[in-house]
Amino acid sequence: DADVTQTPRNRITKTGKRIMLECSQTKGHDRMYWYRQDPGLGLRLIYYSFDVKDINKGEISDGYSVSRQAQAKFSLSLESAIPNQTALYFCATSDGQLTEAFFGQGTRLTVV
Amino acid sequence: GQNIDQPTEMTATEGAIVQINCTYQTSGFNGLFWYQQHAGEAPTFLSYNVLDGLEEKGRFSSFLSRSKGYSYLLLKELQMKDSASYLCAVPTGGGNKLTFGTGTQLKVEL
């Protein structure tokens, strides 16, 4: 089983719908991150969390929210999906500052 | 702020050597990471350099020059499976998050 698991792997949703992407990890890491990846733009940070009580905005947090339900779970929500949120979304974890990040397999989201 | 530049695409021949460059500008340097990402898959860690010089790991090596704001990833004895995107990333926000370059798409040909 993967150490960082994202569900769903693929999702098509309609404009205006609320959608939640889920991430769970078995690595025991405190730090968790949500990125989106678009062609030509690379990976961009949406939100990150260092523990259950800690939530921080990344560079592109508008239109998104997150919930850190437990050390192992970090969910990303799109309150009202729009087509330009169509992207590949990655969850990642790390053990601490300046350590490698471990990525989930990604969620391909299409908003029509 | 931070700025990371990498070439968008490179093509190389199987068995050859290729060097992928990355230049960066960042306020407060905390090292530099390289990741590999095959199409549609998760990025995977390759290397982390915090001191100047070359670090070798099998067929892959990574070099850092802090004074020049420059790093490169050197891939030797290229194989078809090395066709992937190579992402350069620097820690920002006091080292608490990663900022990625846009990646270099490497195509290995016969």
Residues of A in contact with B50 (CB under 8 A): 98
| 8-state DSSP, B58 | T
Subunit contact A43:B42, Cβ cutoff 8 A: no
Subunit contact B97:A58, Cβ cutoff 8 A: yes
The residue of chain A with its CA nearest to that of B31 is A98
DSSP string over A69-100: EETTEEEEEESS--GGG-EEEEEEEESSTT--
- Predicted confidence at residue A1, as pLDDT, reads 65
- Predicted confidence at residue B29, as pLDDT, reads 84
pLDDT at B96 over 90: no
Least Cα separation, residue A110 to chain B (angstroms): 15
CA A100 to CA B96: how far, in whole Å?
11
Looking at chain B, the number of H-run helices and the number of E-run strands are 0, 11
Q: Give pLDDT tens digits for A16-55.
A: 999 999 999 999 999 999 999 998 888 999 999 999 999 9
Subunit contact A40:B102, Cβ cutoff 8 A: yes
pLDDT at B108 over 60: yes
- Predicted confidence at residue B1, as pLDDT, reads 54
Joined tokens for residue B105: 């798409």
* CA dihedral sign, ordered A27, A31, A34, A40: negative
Size of interface A-B (CB pairs under 8 A): 55
Which of A29, A95, A97 should we substitute to test contact with B (largest number of B Cβ atoms within 10 Å)?
A: A97
B42, B94, B103 member nearest A104 (Cβ)? B42
Q: Give pLDDT tens digits for A72-101.
A: 999 999 999 999 999 999 999 999 888 899
- Predicted confidence at residue B101, as pLDDT, reads 95
Mean pLDDT of A4-11: 97
B31, B41, B100 member nearest A98 (Cβ)? B31
Instruction: Tell whether A96 is within 8 A of chain B (Cβ).
Output: no
Subunit contact A103:B44, Cβ cutoff 8 A: yes
pLDDT at B2 over 90: no
Q: Give pLDDT tens digits for B11-29.
A: 999 999 999 999 999 888 8
Mean pLDDT of A3-25: 97
Mean pLDDT of B92-100: 86
Joined tokens for residue A82: 């729009």
Residues of A in contact with B45 (CB under 8 A): 100-102
Q: Give pLDDT tens digits for B28-81.
A: 888 999 999 999 999 999 999 999 999 999 999 999 999 999 999 999 999 999
Instruction: Tell whether B28 is within 8 A of chain A (Cβ).
Output: no
- Predicted confidence at residue B26, as pLDDT, reads 85
How confident is the prediction for chain B on average, in pLDDT?
Answer: 94
Percent of chain A, pLDDT > 70? 99
